Structures are given as C-alpha cells and as structure tokens.
Amino acid sequence: MIDISTIDNQMVEIPSGKIELKDDRTKERWTVEIKPILLAKFPVTQELYFAITNEEPSTIKGNRHPVETVTWKEATVGLTKNEV
C-alpha cells in the first residue's frame, strides 16, 4: 500500500514564466505566460493512481506499471478532486 502523504517528495516545481511558441506551418510566433505547476518526477504508477482516485483505468494491469488510457483532463480532475 502506498502512503500518499509522501507524494510531495515525488514532485518537481516548474516555475512560472514566459515561453515563446511557434507554428512551423504558418511561421507564426507568440509568447504565453505559464503558471507554476507541480510535475511528477516519475510516471504515475497504477498503484499510486488507485490510492488517490480509487479507480483502475489501465488496460495493461500491474501495480508498478504506469497509468494509461486516461486523458490529461481525467487525471487532473481525479487528482484535484482528491486534493493531492
């Protein structure tokens, strides 16, 4: 069983800032401002995802395997809903 209280040790803070993006097709460039976020150092395992969300969405089963078949929105909503 995973102790999710230690999840902060597995996160890296990405600071806020500005980044220039470009579209190679149109040659257009623009700058966007990003907010700081926390990003996991490692892929989220199925065991950790289940401990947080109580859901098992993956098709390739294994506690140490990364979670797959979830969208970015599903993952962030699930983690936010459970206040991680």
Cβ proximity of 19 and 31 under 8 Å: yes
With a cut of 60, say whether residue 24 has pLDDT above it: yes
Give the C-alpha separation, 33 to 19, whole Å.
Answer: 6
Question: Taking the CA atoms of the chain, what radius of gyration do you get in angstroms?
Answer: 16
Provide the residue ranges of all domains of the chain, joining segments of one domain with +: 4-81
- Its pTM stands at 0.60
More confident residue, 56 or 74: 56
With a cut of 80, say whether residue 84 has pLDDT above it: no
Here the contacts of 14-22 (C-beta below 8 Å, separation 24 or greater) are 14/38, 14/39
Give the C-alpha separation, 75 to 50, whole Å.
Answer: 11
Q: Which element (helix H / strand E) includes 33?
A: strand 28-34
For 35-72, what is each residue's pLDDT tens digit? 998 888 888 899 988 988 889 999 999 999 999 999 98
